[in-house]
Amino acid sequence: MLNNNNYLFKIIWSKNYLGFAVDKILQNNLTLPLTTFFFWPKENGWELLKEELSYKPWISKNDSIDILNGYNLILNYWLLNVNEMEGIKKIIQDSSKFNFELLAKF
């Protein structure tokens, strides 16, 4: 199970695309980029994220699964609410399992 304090999901929300990246949360709320940004629908972010995580042997299989599930959660939410720009704030506030940060919305 993913530890809430380990990873931060960074989001760029647009009506035309969804940007998504993952950072590792370190001590003192510092973060270290873990992945590049993936932009849906231009890229298959899930596959690219899965591949990028596979190159990081220090990330457990369970954490990788939970990170991919976090990506799916955001992507599916975006697909259903793409025109509801304020909606992303609700999922960020209501999430007890994941740390999300909305970097930008267009």
Q: Whose CA is closest to 78, among 34, 12, 18, 6?
A: 18
Per-position pLDDT tens, the chain of length 106? 445 458 899 999 888 899 999 999 888 889 999 999 999 888 888 899 999 999 999 999 999 998 998 899 888 888 888 777 666 666 666 666 778 888 887 7
Q: Which two tokens stand for residue 7?
A: 């990873």
Q: Whose CA is closest to 70, among 51, 90, 96, 44?
A: 96
Q: What is the pTM of this model?
A: 0.81
The per-residue DSSP string of 54-100 comes to HT-TTS-HHHHHHHHHHHHHHHHHHHHHTT-TTHHHHHHHH-SS-EE
Q: Domain 7-105: which CATH class?
A: alpha beta
Cβ atoms 72, 64 nearer than 8 A: no
Cβ atoms 34, 22 nearer than 8 A: yes
Long-range contacts of 79-83 (CB under 8 A, 24+ apart): 82/15, 83/15
